[in-house]
Amino acid sequence: MSQPSRISMLETMMLIRAHEERLAANAGGSPGTCTAVGQEAAAVGVVRALQPRDRILTNHRSAGHLLARGADPGRLMAEVMGRADGYCRGKSGSLHVSAKELGVVLTSTIVGGELSLAPGVALAQKMGATVPNEGTEPGGITAVFFGDGAACEGIFHESINLAVTWQLPVLYVCENNQWQAFVRRDETMPHEQVRPWAASHGLPAVSVDGNDVEAVFAAALAAAEHVRSTGTPYFLELITYRTRGHYEPDDQAYVDKEELARWKARDPIALQRDRLMAAGELAPGELAHLQQRVADTIEAAFAFAQNSPWPDARELLTDVYA
């Protein structure tokens, strides 16, 4: 992997973190937002391995996937804040964002909801469905992101069973972040990983360190190539940790402080930063430049969102009753 690519992945992770922390600090304008702080390597590593013709279905912690895909931070913030300049004209909030131009089919706040739709999207790709005004996109795959909580839903098994039976080009990406809302993973699962459940359906299944962006990228690249070349599904589990609460605001009183500290010590941004600096590929001055550029981008995005108008109520009613 080239030095510019490694630095670019670091900057994208920094952008995602700054975006979510800025929204979390804006408690009055974006309450209920579900962040994925601590999981940035999972989003960046996988999305970097995808191609423009691929389709993405994600969950209620979607900002990282969207920003890694190239979403405009201002439009994304505007959407979360319910403003008309957002990706869905302020109607989705943070929990239902879709962006056709990015190939992001949907964000589902229903736990496992994206899993129920992924086989259908992949089937359309396999059958050569025509995209209006765009034509067909042969060779495209469907990447579906979900957590360990969704893996405890029946739809997880139904979705994988269908993808295996129908031989569909689906890349299943489980971000095993140890928490299912306010419930610790080990209270609902008999083992630490989801991979054995997936493997029992007969598809390739791999677990990797979800806090190492380069390891995630390498694994995702291999997974995507398998799906693309064979037209069959693949399961990729990323072992990571959500270091903020279930939603904003959340004081995390239910979280073991020592466990949280251990995972914060393996912060994915710090890991990549230290790796690059140790290799002499990132100087302190260059790091400061990245930090300032990210900070400027996020402040400009926040200002854009604040200055964006509210949706017209008449338009909302027209959409509902049309």
pLDDT digits (tens, 9 = 90+) for 236-255: 999 998 887 777 777 888 88
Is the predicted pLDDT of residue 109 greater than 80, yes or no?
yes
Helix (H), strand (E) at residue 43: helix 40-47
* Residue 214 tokens, joined: 């380069």
Is the predicted pLDDT of residue 209 greater than 70, yes or no?
yes
Q: Express each pLDDT in 3-34 by its tens digit.
A: 999 999 999 999 999 999 998 887 655 667 87
Q: Express each pLDDT in 279-290 by its tens digit.
A: 999 999 999 999
Closest CA to 151 of 121, 185, 187: 185
pTM exceeds cut of 0.85 = yes
Indicate the SS3 state at residue 322: coil
Contact 151, 197 (CB under 8 A): yes
Of the pLDDT bands very low, low, confident and very high (cuts 50, 70, 90), residue 318 is low
Contact 126, 169 (CB under 8 A): yes
Task: Report the C-alpha gap between 276 and 17 in whole angstroms.
Answer: 18
Mean pLDDT of the region 83-97: 88
Q: Express each pLDDT in 215-236 by its tens digit.
A: 999 999 999 999 999 999 999 9
**How many Cα atoms occupy the beta-carbon half-sphere of 68 within 13 Å?**
27
Indicate the SS3 state at residue 131: strand
* Residue 59 tokens, joined: 């969950």
* Residue 136 tokens, joined: 């067909």
Mean pLDDT of the residues in the chain: 89
